[in-house]
Amino acid sequence: MSKFPKDFLWGAASSAFQIEGAWDEDGKGMTVADFNSFKKSDKQADSKVAADFYHRYKEDIQLMKELGLKAYRFSISWARIYPNGEGEINQKGIDFYNDVINTLLENNIQPLVTLYHFDLPYQLVEKYNGWESRKTIDAFAKYAETCFKEFGDRVKIWQVHNEQNLMIRVDERMNINVDDSYTADKIRAQMDYHMFLAHAHAVNLCHELIKDAKIGPAVSSTCTYPLTNKPEDVWAAKMNDWFKTNYCLEMHTNGEYPGYYLRYLKERNIVPIMEESDTTILKNAKIDYIALNYYRTLCASYLPVDEQNPIGSRVFRGNVVDFDQYGYFRDEKNENLTASEYGAQIDPMGLRIVLNDYYRRYHLPLIITENGLGTADVLTDDEKVHDQYRIDYIQAHIKACADAIEDGVELFGYCPWSVVDLLSSHQGYKKRYGFIYIDRTDFDLKQMKRIKKDSYYWYKNIISNNGESI
């Protein structure tokens, strides 16, 4: 008997700017993701074409049907609905997503929709510096309300922000362009708070407008091991998890900053401006589940303060995602794990730990909305992709899911990243994740033929027997 529930949502995932293309077609506005990709156009692929899902979605959904997907997790581009982020609705954007949703349902694939996946409309940056202004909260609430009214009769599972806890650490995604680290941290804290408020507005609107819907955050999950068994290293590992992920989940579940995070904000003198009425909005926003993205685990040691680095100050690492925090933690290499060619340490056991930790801590159902191996796949002369390394990776992580379910975790779905090869923000089309190969390079679109990888046929079998063959 399968360890997975009979109604388990075997799926796959993508995001709008990484798959759709048609970046300015049919009234769509430019996004922060577009703007940042164009800055790298001489070095790698940008978002102008991506996987061309905008024109090929019917073909791609047929491939999803043949794969046997029960669910497809994708994002709506805010700037395709509101090209300026606010103001007039773009009906052609509504029509496109209506057709995508209807086509999925016709093929018995449940749509799981993310409202915001790294692609803030650029007009909001130019007008308000994006999330630094409360006006962007109002714009997002209106956008969310529009999506719920237009699509809520068919879409019943929603995520609000994708990886707010990670996005807020990447300056280019937030349009933070200052050299002074204190000023950057102050702006970042205000933006983060405004995103929490926007998230709460969306949760409350969803429950008001779609009575049978479920909504929650999609976080970048973190599991950190101590470098040694020194008590301060053990504490540092916990702090690394709390500051990079758990503070975000605690804000979503409790409607207020946890004490350790508020202390940090005070230490740095960067407590965001809050209004009295915000408390009610945040407290009323009761999420229904937690979506998590899992790729790796981390390792940490204690990092003491020094004369140049006061408590709470941060130093960001070269990969633009991780940071060390003085008086708290320093990221270290875990010598017990191997890593992908792009540096992510591979650790299926960490997924089991994360699933158990979040379920015991927050007592909410869970779904995995991203998990996958990015690497440079090779297309053979006979148009095949032999990606046994991806099969091994995903199989080990599905096994971790099965173990977590036996541990008592309420896990209701698994959506690997990604359904097709899509645009990587930092490696273009050199780094591929998909079950389906897109025959293009960074600078040669070719015919963009869709080619099923070995992992496609393997995952199809997993879905067909509900994970029994793991």
- Residues catalogued as catalytic: 163, 370
Residue 199, token pair as written in the block: 């998230």
Q: List, in sequence order, every residue forming a beta bridge with 66; answer none if it has no partner.
A: none
Task: Kindly list the strands in the beta sheet with 330-332, ordered across the sheet, starting from the edge strand earlier in the chain.
Answer: 224-226, 298-301, 330-332
Question: In this structure, are residues 438 and 51 in contact, taking their beta carbons and an 8 Å threshold?
Answer: yes
CA distances from 322 to 169, 384, 419 (A): 8, 36, 27
CA–CA separation, 44 vs 423, rounded Å?
Answer: 9
Ranges assigned E (strand) in 163-284: 214-220, 224-226
CA–CA separation, 106 vs 62, rounded Å?
Answer: 10
- Strands 450-452 and 436-438, how do they pair? antiparallel
The CB density around residue 222, as the number of other CB atoms within 10 Å, is: 24
169 φ/ψ angles, rounded to the nearest 5 degrees = -90, -10
CA–CA separation, 114 vs 73, rounded Å?
Answer: 7
Question: In this structure, are residues 437 and 418 in contact, taking their beta carbons and an 8 Å threshold?
Answer: no
Q: What would you measure as the largest C-alpha separation in the chain, in angstroms?
A: 64
CA–CA separation, 94 vs 312, rounded Å?
Answer: 44
CA–CA separation, 72 vs 306, rounded Å?
Answer: 49
The CB density around residue 44, as the number of other CB atoms within 10 Å, is: 19
Which DSSP category does 27 fall into?
Answer: G
- Kindly report whether the peptide bond that precedes residue 464 is cis, defined as omega within 30 degrees of 0: no
